Amino acid sequence: MSVKTETVIRTPNERATTEPSRRPDLLGLGPDELARVALSLGEPAYRGRQLAEWFYRRGSFDLGAMTNLPAAFREELDRGYRIGSLAENGRRETPDRKTRKVAFSLDSGGVVETVYMSTPTRFTFCLSSQHGCGFACRFCATGRMGRGRNLTAGEMVEQALRLRRELPDGATDYNVVLMGMGEPLENYDAVLRALGLLTDPSLGALPPKRVTISTVGLVPQIYRLADEAPRYRLAVSLHAATDELRSKLMPVNRTFPLEQLLGAVRHHVDRTGRRVTFEYILIEELNDTIGDAAKLVKLVAQLPCKINLIPYNPIGPGKFKRPSAERIQRFAEHLRPRVPAVTVRYSQGVDIGAACGQLAGEAQGGARR
Ligand code: SAH
Averaged pLDDT in 10-residue chunks for the chain of 369 residues: 39 54 93 98 98 96 97 97 96 94 95 95 96 96 92 98 95 95 98 97 91 98 97 98 98 98 98 97 97 98 96 88 96 97 86 81 42
Sign of the dihedral defined by the CA atoms of residues 281, 124, 127, 366, in that order: positive
**Length of the chain counted residue by residue:** 369
Residue 313 Cα: closest atom of ligand 1: 23
CB contact burial 164-175 (16+ within 10 A = b; e otherwise): beebeeeeeebb
What per-residue confidence (pLDDT) applies to 369? 29
Q: CB count, 10 Å around CB of 107?
A: 15
Of the residues 213, 221, 236, 279, which should be mutated to test ligand 1's pocket, given the most ligand atoms within 8 Å of the CB? 279
Note the pTM of the prediction, 2 decimals: 0.92
Query: Which residue's C-alpha comes closest to atom 26 of ligand 1?
Result: 357
* Active-site choice (113, 155, 158, 279): 113
* Region of 124 on the Ramachandran plot (φ > 0 left; ψ -120 to 50 alpha; else beta): beta
What per-residue confidence (pLDDT) applies to 17? 58
Of the residues 281, 312, 315, 350, which should be mutated to test ligand 1's pocket, given the most ligand atoms within 8 Å of the CB? 281
H or E segment at 278?
strand 276-282
Please tell me the distance between residue 356's alpha carbon and the centre of ligand 1 in angstroms: 5
356 in active site: yes
Q: Which of 287, 241, 283, 281 is nearest to 262 (CA)?
A: 241
How far is Cα 42 from Cα 281, in angstroms, rounded to an integer?
55
